């Protein structure tokens, strides 16, 4: 099975940064603890765009990807993030080349 990835750009409402960041930290901690098939779940600020956050998510395979969305911590994140997010853009990716630490011997 091949890996799957997402790139998600959140554009936040003015003044929502701190509350959104706390929600992100909670979700990321739960992903780390409960989702071994989620290889990368990284959130970054976008330089020069203070109201934007970019997530990069890498899943071991389609099964791990499909198991991510229904998790209680992700459902909570998605339901609560609507309070803080003005726009969401999602790109589904299929990695095919590059450096991948999970494949190191």
CATH of the domain at 72: 3.30.70.100
Assigned domain for 71 exists: yes
SS3 2: coil
Assigned domain for 86 exists: yes
Cα→Cα distances 61→3, 39, 47, 99, 103, Å:
4, 10, 30, 17, 13
- As for how many domains the chain has, the answer is 1
Assigned domain for 97 exists: no
| Token representation of residue 90 | 């999602």
H/E stretch holding 87 reads strand 85-93
Query: What confidence score (pLDDT) does residue 104 get?
Result: 57
Mean pLDDT of 40-47: 94
Instruction: State the average pLDDT for the chain.
Output: 91
Mean pLDDT of 61-72: 95
Digit-coded pLDDT (tens) for 15-43: 999 999 999 999 999 999 999 999 999 99
Q: Which residues pair with 11 in a beta bridge?
A: 52, 87
């Amino acid at each position: 099975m091949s890996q799957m990835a997402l790139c998600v750009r959140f554009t936040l409402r003015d003044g929502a940064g701190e509350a959104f960041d706390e929600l992100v930290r909670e979700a990321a901690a739960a992903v780390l603890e409960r989702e071994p098939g989620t290889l990368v779940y990284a959130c970054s600020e976008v330089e020069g765009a203070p109201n934007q956050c970019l997530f990069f998510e890498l899943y071991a395979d389609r099964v791990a990807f499909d198991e991510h969305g229904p998790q209680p911590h992700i459902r909570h994140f998605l339901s609560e993030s609507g309070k803080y997010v003005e726009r969401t853009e999602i790109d589904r990716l299929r990695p095919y080349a590059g450096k991948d630490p999970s494949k190191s011997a």
